Chain A
C-alpha cells in the first residue's frame, strides 16, 4: 500500500516527457522518471521516498528500442532485463541481467532503471563499462551523447530533468568471450556479495565489479595488475586490494573482509582458467 497520492503521467515522446517534468517539478515537488517502478514501489511502500509525480517513459518509442543497427546495438532505457536476455543480442548483459532479482522482477526492471536507481549494485553497469558503451541522455537542453564511462562515476551523472534515452554498444564488443560470476550470501536470488564481469579483448582481460564497494566500478589500474603475468596470483590479489576505490562494504549480507575473501576466490578461478587456456 502506497499511502501518498501522486501524479501519474505517460508522455508519448521525449519532448512531452521533459515538458511534463518541467511542469510537475515546480514547488519543490519530487518528480521521478520511471520505467519499471519496482524500486519506487519499494521505497514508497516503506514511506521512505515517495514521489509527488512519476513520468512513465515506456510511452516513448525510442526508449523501447532494442535493435542491431549497422555498427551498433541500440538498447532503449525502458527495455526490460528479461527482453535483453531473451533477445540474445548481448550475451554478457543478458546474463548479468538474468541474475538480478527474480524472473518476475526481471520482466519489470529496465536497463535505464537499473543504471539510475538507488540500490547500490547496478550490475548492468558492468558490461557497459567493459564494452566501451556510449550513452545517450535526453533532457531540457536536448541530447547529450557521452562515453558511458564518462557519464558514470559511482552513479549516473544526470542533469536536472535528464533521463537515460538509449545505450549503444559497438557490434564487435557484443560477442567477446566473457565471464560473469555472482556470489551471494547463500541464496541464488539476492543482492551480490561480489559480482565480477570480465571480458577478454585483444588478449587482455578487462574487469568490472559490483558489491565489493558501495558502487559498481571498472579500474584500469586493477586490470593492469591482474593482467601482469610476471606476478603470481596471490601477488596480483594483494596489489589489487590496495587499489580498490574504497574499503569493501560491510552490511547484513556480509562483512568487508568476507567480501574480499569471496572476491579473491572468484578472481583466482578466472585467472586459473585463463592460464589453462593460454597454456
Chain B
C-alpha cells in the first residue's frame, strides 16, 4: 500500500456537493417551525426612545416580539460589549432592534415592518481618525466596565479604543540614522464583506426539561455552546449545537450572532422550534463584515537595500463592536513586517470603534490589510534604493536566527523559506526585472510582486480531538469537531490516517456534520489550523488504533506487539505477511475458529492542546502567539489601458512554503480561491456608506464580486520546508492565498500607471481620480 500523502484525492464531500445533495442549515423542511425575522436600525448612532409593538403584535399569527429589554445581556468573543439586540442605543445602521416570531415567515416580516421605533439620532463617527478626536462621541461610555474574556485585551476607558497592542524591538533612532533611503506613506482600506454563498441561518428548540438544540451555519459550534451558556447562565451540558455543511464562511461565521437571537426567540415561545433567517441584505448590513484599516508607515534602508528600521501605526476600524478585532490588532502587530528581518522596529496597532457595521475575522485575519500597506511601501523603497523588487525582498527576507517582530528566533521549521519562494516565483514568472512592458500606444503589461506570511493567533489553550471507530466491513469512521467550510480539511485528515494506517483512503469515512454532543471539541474551524491541531489529534488516534490492533494481534499470534504489522486493512506478523487477519474480522474483537473471543472492539482517541504559546509582553510585544508561520511570494500580472484606466487581470501566481504537499490539487484550489477573493476584494469590493451612515450597496445587484469569466490564469507552486511539530511537516495554508494579492495588484497598477496607490478598491475611477489629483497639484 503506497502512501496517499501527495496524491490528488477527491474531497470526501465532493459528490454530495456536485450533485446538489449536500444539506445546509436552512435546507431542512420548515414544517413544524415558527419563523423569526429581525427589525434593524436605520440609524448609525441613535438613542432608542421608544419601541411600539402594539400594531405588530395584533397581527394574526404573531407569536412573540423581543426587544433589547427582554434579555439585557452583553456578548463578545474577547470583550463583552455587544447586546445581541440593541438596548437603549443603536450603534450602527443594520443593528438588530427587535425580533418577531410568527407562524409564517411572511407574517414575521410583515409584523417587523409594523413595529414603530422612535429614535433620537446621536452624532456618529465614520472613521478611525474621527473616533480618536478629543471631542468624538463615545460609542461605549461604559467601556471600562465591560467584562474582558481575554485579559490581554485592554480597552481605554472614555475613548473609542477597544484595545491596543505594540511591538518595540531594537533601537528605532539608531536604525533610521543608518538609513540611506527613508519613505513615509499612509494607506487606507475600507471595510468590505465575506459574502459566503450561504447566508447565515439558525434553528433553535428547547425541550420541556430545558435541553437546548441549536442548528446553525457556524465555524465555531463549541463557541456557540460556551457563549450561550455564559450569556444566559445555562449549564453548557444542556446545549447541543449541530452544524451541517457550511456554504462558505471565510471567518464570517466564526462569531456567535444569530444563535443568540434564535435562542431568545425560542424562549419567548416556550421552546417551540424556531427558524431564523436573514435576507442577503441583512447578512451584509447586520452581520459582521471585514474591518477597515488606516496605516502610517515609515521604513528606512541602507543603499544596498538592507532595511534598518521601520515604524508602523495601524488603526483598525472594528465598527460598532469589537468581536475578535482586538486579536486582529494583535495579529497585525505580531506579523507587521511581513517575512522580513527588520532589526529596529516599532509598531502600534489600535482597534477603534466607529459607527460602521461591526467587523470580525475575515480570511487572512487582518493580514491581507496590513500586507497591502507594507508591501506597497516595500515596493516604493525598493525603487528608491534602485533595486529590483524581487531582489530587494530577497535581501531582506527573514532567515534562521533572525528575530521576528515578537522576538521569536526564526528557524526553517517555525518560519519556512521566503527566499526560496521568491526564487521559485522568479522562475515561474520568467522574471527579467521589467515590471512594465508596452503592448501598444495605450496598453501596457505590468507585474506586481508581494510577499506574505501569517501565523495564527489562537487562545494559548485551544484544543482539538479525534475519535476513530470501525464498521463491520472493516472500514473506518473518523470523527472530529472540524466543520467542513469548503477548505477540504477533513479530506486532508483522512489522507493522514490512510498514510499512518497504510490503508486505502476509500475505506475511511468522515462524519461531515458536527454535533457538540457527539464530536470531540475542536476549538473553531478557523486560522487554517485544521492540519496542525486536528492533524495532531488524528495522528494520535491513528497511533492508538495501531496500538490496539497490535496488542490484539500479539495475543492472537502469541508474539510481541512489535512483531505485528498493520497494512492494507490487515493485521499480520511481519515475517508471515501471507497469513493475515482482515480488519473486518478484528476491529470488533477477534473470534478464533473454536469460538474463543480475543481483545475488544477498537475505539481509538487522540486529543491535542496547544502548548508553548504565551501572551505578549505589553510593552515590547515579546511572546509566542502561534505555533508557526507560513510564508509565500505572489504576483499579479495585468494589462492596463493608460488612456481610460481600465485593466484586465491576466495572471495571478503564488509560490507558497506549505511544509509538505498533502493533496496537490486540493491545496492549489484553496490557494486559487484565496487569490480570486483577494483580486475581487482589492479591485472592486467596498462597504460604501451614504451621508446618513447607511450602507449604499447591501445587495449583490450593486455590490460586485469577481465573476466567472473575469478570472485570470492562476498558477501555484510549492516549496516544502517541513514544520517539524506538525503532521508530515505540513503548514497552514487555507487562508493564505489571499494575503499578498491586494498588494501585488496595487504594485502592478502603480507600475503601470505611475499612480502612488494608497487606497482600495482599485476601480478605474479611483485610478483616474488619483491621476487627476496629481495633475491638480502640479
Q: Which residues of A contact B (CB under 8 A)?
A: 1-5, 42, 45-47, 185-191, 252, 254-255, 258, 261-262, 265
Contact = CB atoms under 8 A, between A and B. Distances in A.
A252 B764 contact: no
Main secondary structure of the interface of B (DSSP, over half): loop
- A-B CB proximity, top 3 nearest: A3-B109, A3-B110, A187-B704
A1 B279 contact: yes
Contacts of A188: 707, 709-710
Measured as residues with beta carbon below 8 angstroms from the partner, the interface class of chain B is 20 to 34
Contact of B683 (A46, A47, A186, A190): A186
B710 to A, nearest CB: 7
B701 A1 contact: no
A45 B707 contact: no
B764 A1 contact: no
Given A185-B704, A190-B704, A265-B644, A258 B765 contact: yes
Given A1-B109, A191-B702, 10 more contacts: A3-B106, A3-B110, A185-B684, A186-B684, A187-B710, A188-B709, A190-B704, A252-B688, A254-B765, A258-B765
A252 B696 contact: yes
Nearest to B688: A252
A185 B764 contact: yes
B3 interface: no
16 contacts: A1-B105, A2-B106, A3-B107, A3-B112, A5-B106, A47-B109, A185-B684, A185-B704, A185-B765, A186-B683, A186-B763, A187-B710, A188-B709, A252-B696, A252-B702, A261-B768
Contacts of B107: 3
B391 interface: no
Of B643, B704, B707, chain A has the most CB atoms within 10 Å of the CB of B704
A262 B106 contact: no
Contacts of B281: 46
A189 B707 contact: yes
Nearest to A102: B707
A262 B644 contact: yes
Interface of B: 105-107, 109-110, 112-113, 279, 281, 643-644, 683-684, 688, 696-697, 701-702, 704, 707, 709-710, 763-765, 768-769
A190 B700 CA distance: 10
Contact of B768 (A42, A47, A189, A258): A258
Contacts of B279: 1, 45
A47 to B, nearest CB: 6
A255 B688 CA distance: 14
A5 B61 CA distance: 14
Contacts of B683: 186
B349 to A, nearest CB: 31
Contacts of B704: 185-187, 190
B684 A187 contact: yes
A258 B707 CA distance: 24
Nearest to B702: A252
B242 to A, nearest CB: 25
Contacts of A265: 643-644
Contacts of B696: 252
A252 B690 CA distance: 9
Contacts of B112: 3
Contacts of B113: 3, 47
A186 B703 CA distance: 11
Nearest to A252: B696
B647 to A, nearest CB: 9
